[in-house]
Amino acid sequence: MFAILKKEFKNYFLTPIGYVFIGLFLVVVSLIFYNYTFSQHYINFEYILWDSIIVLTFITPVLTMRMFAEEKKSGTDILIMTSPRSIFSIVMGKFLAACSVILITIALFFIYFIILCFFGKPSIVVALVTSLGFFLLAMSYISFGMFASCLTESQIIAAIITIAFFLVISFLQSSVGILSMFSLVSMFQKFPLGVISLKEVVGYLSFSILFILLTIIILQRRKSVK
């Protein structure tokens, strides 16, 4: 697992993908930061993260679309699939590599926190809790993006499936009953209040595990139908 994690992580920064992802994110977050801090004079770090999750919806595919689609297209999947590594470790390696990019992004966010400290006393606890929520949400997004990537050879199609799915589930937010439970965005709501709720944490984790498992099943099945 570690071998694949290392290679995939390196690959994000050998190619422009990692820089594009982090760069795009920071540009948008800077604008949000400017709006809250300088126009509206808030010093709440969590507001910035809260608003930036919409960006995450659209740029998660940058990280995930090539995961399996590109390997399949270029035929390199045969190299990993015929190695002694298990499908589980291949999938987890790729998944954790993308999660590491998210961690770097969050770490860079804290630059804004430091800037905020010059203007007042933002709560570090709330900032950390919101970051945790942000990470869990990103993890769920990545697990679905990865799943979409293993369905097709085309990175574009993988990206479209991912974004379309995120848009659909963000509409679930306003729906009622059981469907609203699947809304990843509404699960985020408690974190900016500084509350870590078990229900939401479990919700995100089970969503991630579900799509990691589905990815493994698809890859396993492909062996017999290919």
219 binds another protein per the rule CB under 8 A: no
| Among 130, 160, 144, 148, CA closest to 58 | 160
Output 121 or 223, the one with its CB closest to another protein: 223
83 binds another protein per the rule CB under 8 A: yes
> According to CB under 8 A, which one of 82, 121, 176, 177 is a site residue for another protein?
82
86 binds another protein per the rule CB under 8 A: yes
| Among 55, 186, 41, 52, CA closest to 120 | 41
Output 49 or 67, the one with its CB closest to another protein: 67
Only one of the segments 31-39, 68-76, 111-119, 136-144 lies at the binding site for another protein (rule: CB under 8 A); that segment is 68-76
Number of residues that bind another protein (CB under 8 A): 24
* Those residues with Cβ within 8 angstroms of residue 179's Cβ, 6 or more apart along the chain or in another chain: 172
217 binds another protein per the rule CB under 8 A: no
190 binds another protein per the rule CB under 8 A: no
Whether the Cβ atoms of residue 90 and residue 4 lie closer than 8 Å to each other: yes
Tell me how far, at minimum, the Cβ of 219 lies from another protein, in Å: 11
74 binds another protein per the rule CB under 8 A: yes
3 binds another protein per the rule CB under 8 A: yes
7 binds another protein per the rule CB under 8 A: yes
C-alpha 210/C-alpha 181 separation (Å) is 15
Angle at 105 between CA 99 and CA 110, to 5 degrees: 130
Site for another protein in 14-33 (CB under 8 A): 14-15
Tell me how far, at minimum, the Cβ of 103 lies from another protein, in Å: 22
6 binds another protein per the rule CB under 8 A: yes
Output 39 or 224, the one with its CB closest to another protein: 224
Only one of the segments 41-49, 52-60, 80-88, 208-216 lies at the binding site for another protein (rule: CB under 8 A); that segment is 80-88
Output 178 or 225, the one with its CB closest to another protein: 225
Binding site for another protein (CB under 8 A): 3-4, 6-7, 11, 14-15, 74-86, 223-226
